[in-house]
Amino acid sequence: MPEGITMIGEQIARVIESKNTEFPLGTNVLTHAGWVSHSVSDGKNLTKIPPYPKGVPLSLALGTLGMPGMTANYGLVDICAPKVGEVVVVSGAAGAVGNAVGQIAKFKGCKVIGFAGSEEKVTWLKELGFDEAFNYKTIKDLDATLKSVAPNGIDCYFDNVGGEFSNTVLNNMARLGRVACCGAISVYNDTKPLMLPAIHGTLISKEITMTGFRVVSYRDRYPEWIQRNIQWINEGKLKYKEHVTKGFDNMFDAFMGLFSGANTGKAVVEV
Amino acid sequence: MPEGITMIGEQIARVIESKNTEFPLGTNVLTHAGWVSHSVSDGKNLTKIPPYPKGVPLSLALGTLGMPGMTANYGLVDICAPKVGEVVVVSGAAGAVGNAVGQIAKFKGCKVIGFAGSEEKVTWLKELGFDEAFNYKTIKDLDATLKSVAPNGIDCYFDNVGGEFSNTVLNNMARLGRVACCGAISVYNDTKPLMLPAIHGTLISKEITMTGFRVVSYRDRYPEWIQRNIQWINEGKLKYKEHVTKGFDNMFDAFMGLFSGANTGKAVVEV
């Protein structure tokens, strides 16, 4: 990002002044105005947030009922397409996307193995029903850990981190495995490209499919996924957690927490 | 491969003695007996070769109507699923698989760009109708070459070679591109793994799918593909070329030609 631009960010906003009958006063909308307390819109980049059932907080429009929840649906259900009894590994498992992925995989009948970056997160993943959860910062040997919890190989890998970690997971995939490449947070701040062993041979010998995706390309399917997630929330199958930072001035610290691993669940700033 | 075992290889054989009514004297079969002039079978590993239409040589059971032809069908039609007007790149394009891939992509309405390892092969690819064909051993700058012939990016890449070459192609894929990982001949003889820049970020930002495959997993579809290829051959759409080495004793040289790039089309040894 070039210096001097408004930092990007998605937000829930309430219309407090309007000349547009489509968005009357008091309407709750999703917008991408960035790190600002107030913004002016011609209505083009606003998405109305539908009324949620009682007990479902509005802030979920940024999490389980927003982009992260949509990402979990597309990446897990469409790309990984896990079958009952399959082994699913999720990295960044305590994040807004990862925890939803793990929960959905679990109630679809899979064995779910999650990796996150603190003991607190690992405890939470186990509370959510993950079969296995590990602190990737403290396990001694990722390869040996994967071989012990998935001796027949990993069928689906939902990848939020990229880098060396994902390379080790790839080497432990089962035949016909599927990898949903969602994020590569481990390398976003690298100034030169990370070098890894070439993967072509592994992809071929194990007949693996790796799919990189950006969920915004499937906006037309959001309504279907939102309804599905609301239903799963109501049935108690899909739980959520938010890491709420209060105050506009604390936005920077909240953002940096994404890289240091300070957040469990969806990171939200309440202004 | 461990020392001392019979070298692997697929062959067309004729039954010259039989106690099995399913395979009477004179039956032509496909078998994997390896580098031997004669073999004994209980019938389990034999596949009968159906009679081909007049003018279609039996040896195609090893090429366009055999595993390479099946590979081209699955990898291109099923995995890449190219649409009219899309750009398809094929490496190892003058091989048994690659030339069929390029021809099929061409009559499906794509712009086809092939890479092979000699001027003779490049000339043949152009005769086959490839829009562009290059000798990868002599082009100065693969990245610049790809950018000039595919300025809007590559939609489909049928990868027979792996390694650095494929990494450069990957960096020139278009959004929603598809890569069929069929072979990695460039690294099969490496004693230590080739290190390449991590690809997760590229897969995500461009929403690319890479699929490694082994066509033998789709044997149940061979009859459908064989009929389709025979039809394309009869319509003059799908041409073939064989690089025939004569004599059992020349098997070794024929095999080494796979690595030195001596063969144009399917390498066959006539015993």
* β strands within chain A, DSSP E: 11-14, 28-31, 47-48, 87-90, 111-116, 132-135, 154-159, 173-181, 195-197, 209-212, 242-246, 266-270
> Cβ contact (<8 Å) for B195 and A193?
no
Strand order across the B47-48 sheet:
B11-14, B28-31, B47-48
Query: Would the pLDDT of B263 be above 80?
Result: no
Taking residues A242-268, what's their average pLDDT?
88
Predicted confidence band of residue A58 (pLDDT cuts 50, 70, 90): very high
pLDDT attached to residue A191: 81
Could you count the other beta carbons within 10 Å of the beta carbon of residue B182?
32
Residues belonging to chain A with any Cβ–Cβ distance to chain B shorter than 8 Å: 159, 162-163, 166-167, 176, 181-184, 187-188, 193-214, 217
- Give me B48's structure tokens: 């009968």
- Give me A7's structure tokens: 């930092």
From A211's Cα to the closest Cα of chain B, the distance in A is 4
Taking residues A74-80, what's their average pLDDT?
98
From B179's Cα to the closest Cα of chain A, the distance in A is 10
> How many helices (DSSP H) and strands (DSSP E) are in chain B?
8, 12
Taking residues A84-99, what's their average pLDDT?
96
pLDDT attached to residue B193: 87
Residues belonging to chain B with any Cβ–Cβ distance to chain A shorter than 8 Å: 159, 162-163, 166-167, 176, 181-184, 187-188, 193-214, 217
Strand order across the A11-14 sheet:
A11-14, A28-31, A47-48
Q: What ipTM goes with this model? A: 0.91
- Residue-range domains of chain B with CATH: 76-214 (3.40.50.720)
User: Are residues A13 and A29 in contact, defined by beta-carbon separation less than 8 angstroms?
Assistant: yes
Which of B167, B168, B204, B205 to probe by mutation at the A interface, max A CB count within 10 Å? B204
> Cβ contact (<8 Å) for A209 and B209?
yes
Taking residues B232-242, what's their average pLDDT?
94
Q: What is the pLDDT of residues B62-89, one digit of tens each?
A: 999 999 999 999 999 999 999 999 999 9
